[in-house]
Structure 1
Amino acid sequence: MKSDRIKFPAGFWAGIQQVGIAPQDVAHKARLPLTILTEPAVVTTAQYFRIWQAYSDLVGDTASGIIKLATTFETAQYPPAVQATYHARDYRDALNRMARYKQLCPPESLRIAEEGERCTIELEWMGSEQPGPPVLVGATLAFLLELGRRGTGQPLPALAVEFSHSMGDAATLEAYFGCPIQIGATNNRLTLHRSDLDCPFLSYNKELLEILTPVLDRSLDEQRSRSIAEMVKWILKRSLSSSRLDIRAVASALRMSDRTLQRRLTDEGTTFKQLLTQARHEQAREYLADPTLDIKEVAFLIGYEDQNSFYRAFRLWEGDTPSNWRSEYLGANQPS
């Protein structure tokens, strides 16, 4: 399971600068403080999506924004998890590492399947009911092909590419991927020639992998061993607007009985009710920080059927009304 706290890669800002987009313009448009450009940043999924949408809005055509970022980004700017894929033994090893280490980074998740002469890579979203902005979807799939091209030193074409939403100029994308592009598909999917996965990587670095792999695997294990309370809150946050907020449904998602879950939470010094309150409080703050959501919508998103119940709960949490809290928050977080 993924946390809603995403370590934002510092190399992204250098990458968009190379494309000709000013990082401060992206931060401003995404309604984030400029400190995100200079300090190690941890963002929520919503903020992460806003950054990508801001880049898309500034770059103009989505397709050219996708290709520019995939091809211009220098390998040296990749975070360690991506470095491990670039220095893999072959394209198959690189893709499998990418799918594994994606769990450490943003909310994207990759599902790889090899069958016959095809290898399909499907993009899914973990911990978010909303799909990512089209430019993020396109850049993710373009980067997977770019990884193979850079690693093998060959202009590998894709077999097929499917997108659920419009991606701007389709001809630009078809020229890059080397195959037809399907828009309006059920899933976002890149299909490769399976034989290309056997191509060795010229950038293979056994010594570097021996250093990076244990560190990344350890980080992955640590992330997976988060407390039961954290995992319960993670599930609750993604179910607040639905009716399935009882302990039995959450226990089922964790593959344990509700009695076992209650015992585990007691051992960690908390209760299901306390975690539900915390989940609602934290999500309320996040949603209120987004001025595009009206307060009635925020109330519904965190599981309140009527606005008055939400107002009473929020006053208990913050000692203020949701509208006053939003005004103060937005005023204090205006980009300079």
Structure 2
Amino acid sequence: MTMYSSDRIKIPAGFWTGLRQLGIVAHDVVRKAQLPITIISDPVVTTAQYFAIWQAYSDLIDDTAKGIIKLATSFETDHYPPTVLATYHARDYRDALKRMARYKQMCPPERLHIIEEGEHCTIEIESLQSEQPVPSILVGITLAFLLELGRRGTGQPLTAKCVEFSTHSIGDLQILESYFGCRIQLGTDFNRLTIHRADLDRPFVSYNAELLEILTPVLEQSLNEQVRCPSITETAMWIMKRSLTGGRPDIQTIASELGISERTLQRRLAEEGTNFKHLLTKVRHEQAKKYLADPSLDIKEVAFLIGYEDQNSFYRAFQLWEGATPLRWRTDHLDLNLVID
């Protein structure tokens, strides 16, 4: 059975062609990202490589805001991958956004959440990566394309109600506000687009029922296969997080919850380039930073929550991970947040 991993991201077939149309040479992007030149012909990359490509694109253009709008508006529909093509030919804007959110599950590293409430509809981007920050330009392109989808599909100059970025810098705000038709908020807790709910009922002039009849079954099959086959690494880490409090989950326990033998678990983790000890350390490290960011938890509680009965052992481990004590790390990060706020 094929295993899927959120660390493997498919590059759309027309991606490099689209950049070339904007005057951006693929080789320049790859060199800027410090990646092997052969990656241009590789249809699948890691999350780190994917983010590096987007950051390199951002670095090569004059202004991040300009880069966002150019890429969101310049791609021709014949360069859209099937997951996006199905949204472009949806019945109306609501149907298109729902399809986008559903099929985005096959395109890490983020997920879309749609909330309709009152007169507004909010589409929020949830990052599936806790270690690597998503490049601001990638977030911006995603939000811009969600509005662009509505504009192209309805044939109307739709505007947003509000756009929020968690970053504190996104380039020329005036350019972005002119494109979205609303105020841009920076440094928020979310990356999200808020639109007028009434626009969701607007029919798509690009609606193509016959094409959807062809695309939908294929996309649904691909989605179901992916959902049925999660990465063993991701699943093991999820179980570890549930099992950390007050103790150290062992490989026998995790293997038992997965319904496989210890040896099989070791083999399948090795096939995905990791091992049990590394995953446990990674989970503890991630959870430690998450809990330390909450000032209501004292250090002893944090140690317990990530499976350390001995507080001194937690201090030694955290010192190795971050080069600072838990208290020092918390103080530095809380002070940084106060400065940013």
* TM-score greater than 0.5 by the shorter chain: yes
Q: CA deviation at 1:55?
A: 0.1
Counterpart check, 1:215 vs 2:212 = no
| Residue 160 (structure 1) shift | 0.6
Are residues 55 and 185 of structure 1, via their aligned partners in 2, closer, same or farther at CA, if it must alter by over 3 Å?
Answer: same
The answer on whether the counterparts of 1:247 and 1:272 sit within 8 Å (CA) in structure 2 is: no
Equivalent-residue separation in structure 2 for 1:50 and 1:81 (angstroms):
23
Shift of the alpha carbon at 1:60? Answer: 2.1
Letter in 2 for 1:265: I
Shift of 1:231: 3.7
Specify the alignment match of 1:106 in structure 2: 108
Q: Which residue of 1 aligns with 2:257?
A: 261
- One-letter amino acid matched to 1:269: T
| Letter in structure 1 aligned against 2:257 | L
What is the TM-score of this pair, normalised by structure 2?
0.73
Amino acid at match of 1:180: R
- Counterpart of 1:261, as a letter, is E
C-alpha contact (below 8 Å) 2:6/2:231 kept by paired residues: no
In the superposition, relative to structure 1, how do residues 278 and 15 fare at CA in structure 2: closer, same or farther (>3 Å)? Answer: farther
Root mean square deviation of aligned Cα = 3.2
1:163–1:188 Cα contact (<8 Å) kept: yes
- Where in structure 2 are the equivalents of 1:292-311 lying within 5 Å? 306=320
TM-score computed with the length of structure 1 as normaliser: 0.74
Equivalent residue of 1:269, what SS?
A: helix
2:61 to 59, 71, 75: 59
Q: How does 1:10-49 map to 2 (within 5 A)?
A: 10-37=13-40, 39-49=41-51
Specify which of 145, 149, 152 is matched with residue 150 of structure 1.
152
Corresponding residue SS for 1:174 = helix
Q: For residues 19 and 115 of structure 1, do their structure 2 counterparts lie closer, same or farther at Cα, with a shift above 3 Å needed?
A: same
Distance across 2 between alignment mates of 1:158 and 1:76: 26
| Pairs aligned (count) | 277
Answer yes or no: is 1:280 the counterpart of 2:282: no
Gaps of 5+ in 1: 252-256, 285-302, 308-336
Partner of 2:180: 177
State whether residues 92 and 198 of structure 1, in contact with CA within 8 Å, keep that contact through their aligned partners in structure 2. Answer: yes
Supply the distance in 2 between the matched residues of 1:10 and 1:86 (Cα, whole angstroms). Answer: 17
Which residue pairs with 2:93 in the alignment?
Answer: 91
2: CA distance, partners of 1:200 / 1:147: 12
How far apart, in 2, do the equivalents of 1:245 and 1:141 lie? Answer: 42
Deviation at 1:96, TM superposition (A): 0.5
Structure 2 gap segments, 5+ residues each = 283-316, 322-341
Name 1:293's counterpart in structure 2.
none
Paired residues of 2:22 and 2:70 also in contact (CA < 8 A):
yes
CA shift digits 1:290-333 (9 cap, x unpaired)? xxxxxxxxxxxxx89659xxxxxxxxxxxxxxxxxxxxxxxxxx
* Deviation of 1:10 (Å): 2.5
Which segment is superposed worse, 128-137 or 207-216? 128-137
Stretch deviating more after TM superposition (39-48 or 170-179): 39-48
1:4 aligns with 7
Deviations 1:58-109 (A, max 9, x none): 0121000000111111111111101111111000000000000011113121
Query: Which of the residues 186, 190, 205 maps onto 1:187?
Result: 190
Question: Which of 198, 202, 206 is the matching residue for 1:199?
Answer: 202
Tell me if the contact between 1:2 and 1:127 (Cα under 8 Å) persists in the aligned partners.
no
How far apart in 2 are the matches of 1:234 and 1:13? 34
Does the aligned pair in 1 maintain the 2:48–2:132 contact within 8 Å? no
Determine the C-alpha separation between the residues in 2 that align with 1:228 and 1:34.
28
Letter of the structure 1 residue corresponding to residue 185 of structure 2 = Q
